């Protein structure tokens, strides 16, 4: 099918984009970024925005800047920017390892990091990264600027704390200490499909004990999030089979699983347990636990 008729706007400055959004959001105006989620749902007529505000020509939204301990990712930065490490150390390596799970190459050339967060599909990989690393999200609207934590940002299935007249201008990820270890694991039916469950484990070792553990989940619940119950079990423990199994089981028990006709809640729980275990093992493989 073809999209329903809409008016197309192509602002060149952030001020114009925010102004148009403030004016047109009440008339069902929407931001167009990479178009890799919005255009298909418009083609199916699941969305019929009256106005599209295309941000692809807006100056100042294409920055990918590592500065003052933070990686700032502008609203025009495509998934493909992360095919190679854009920042030294574990954060760059993590983004490079995760991006390959997102859809297929042509989609990664167009789709944007911030668009993925704004769309808030529960199975989006960048959502898990943002939640696990407690990303800060910069929203610009007619009423000014808001800084949101990932925890406050993700509200549910395709639901965020962004107001209809707000532009997600930038996502900010902390640059991780050099000794940070990470592991990412995802289960999907076919390569490039959305995940049925995924886990990101991030930790350091201090004197042989786990420090600063972060366990983030996606695809399993309505929104990505950190799982405190699993992190508590890991903190201060020596890495190894028993504690990794216990943390995986705690994560599986902690979720409120999404269910669909093909995947019941119990199956998703089991997937979560398996993904958390794999992610932890990738962070600390046997024989590399110290």
Kindly list the residues in this chain that would bind ligand FAD in the complex (CB under 6 A): 30-38, 40, 75, 102-103, 107, 111-112, 114-116, 118-119, 121, 124-125, 162, 167-168, 194
Q: How far is the CB of 186 from ligand FAD (least distance, A)?
A: 9
Q: How far is the CB of 250 from ligand FAD (least distance, A)?
A: 26
- Name which of 230, 226, 256, 15 is nearest 127 in CA terms: 226
Length of the chain: 290
Q: Which one, 107 or 161, has the nearer CB to ligand FAD?
A: 107
Neighbours of 64 (CB within 10 A): 16
Q: How far is the CB of 179 from ligand FAD (least distance, A)?
A: 29
Q: Which one, 75 or 210, has the nearer CB to ligand FAD?
A: 75
Q: Which one, 113 or 244, has the nearer CB to ligand FAD?
A: 113
Select the residue whose beta carbon is closest to ligand FAD and give its number. Answer: 111
Q: Which one, 40 or 156, has the nearer CB to ligand FAD?
A: 40
Q: Which one, 116 or 180, has the nearer CB to ligand FAD?
A: 116
Helix (H, G, I), strand (E, B) or coil at 164: coil
- Name which of 278, 90, 100, 120 is nearest 199 in CA terms: 278
Distance (Å, rounded) from C-alpha 16 to C-alpha 52?
Answer: 13
Q: How far is the CB of 166 from ligand FAD (least distance, A)?
A: 7
Q: Which one, 186 or 249, has the nearer CB to ligand FAD?
A: 186
Q: How far is the CB of 217 from ligand FAD (least distance, A)?
A: 14
Q: How far is the CB of 4 from ligand FAD (least distance, A)?
A: 15
Alpha helices in 25-161 (DSSP H): 38-43, 90-99, 105-110, 113-119, 125-132, 150-153
Distance (Å, rounded) from C-alpha 62 to C-alpha 44?
Answer: 29
Distance (Å, rounded) from C-alpha 8 to C-alpha 5?
Answer: 10
Output DSSP code: residue 25.
G
């Amino acid at each position: 099918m073809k999209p329903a008729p809409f008016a197309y706007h192509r602002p060149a400055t952030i001020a114009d984009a925010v102004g148009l959004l403030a004016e047109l959001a009440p008339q069902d105006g929407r931001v167009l970024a990479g178009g890799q989620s919005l255009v298909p749902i418009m083609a199916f007529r699941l969305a019929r925005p009256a106005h599209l505000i295309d941000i692809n020509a807006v100056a100042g939204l294409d920055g990918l800047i590592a500065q003052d301990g933070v990686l700032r990712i502008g609203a025009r930065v495509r998934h493909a920017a992360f095919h190679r490490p854009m920042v030294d150390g574990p954060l760059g390596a993590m983004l490079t390892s995760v991006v390959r799970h997102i859809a297929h190459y042509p989609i990664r050339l167009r789709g944007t990091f911030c668009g993925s967060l704004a769309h808030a599909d529960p199975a989006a990989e960048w959502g898990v990264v943002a939640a696990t690393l407690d990303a800060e999200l910069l929203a610009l609207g007619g009423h000014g600027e808001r800084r949101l934590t990932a925890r406050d940002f993700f509200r549910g299935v395709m639901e965020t704390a962004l107001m209809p007249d707000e532009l997600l201008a930038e996502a900010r990820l902390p640059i991780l200490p050099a000794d940070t270890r990470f592991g990412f694991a995802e289960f999907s039916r076919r390569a490039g499909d959305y995940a049925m469950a995924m886990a990101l484990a991030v930790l350091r070792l201090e004197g042989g004990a786990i420090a600063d553990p972060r366990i983030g989940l996606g695809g399993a619940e309505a929104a990505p999030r950190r799982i405190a119950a699993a992190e508590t079990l890991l903190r201060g423990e020596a890495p190894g089979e028993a504690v990794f199994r216990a943390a995986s089981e705690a994560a599986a028990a902690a979720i409120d699983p999404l269910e669909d006709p093909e995947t019941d809640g119990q199956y998703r729980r089991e997937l979560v347990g398996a993904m958390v275990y794999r992610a932890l093992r990738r962070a600390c493989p046997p024989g590399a636990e110290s």
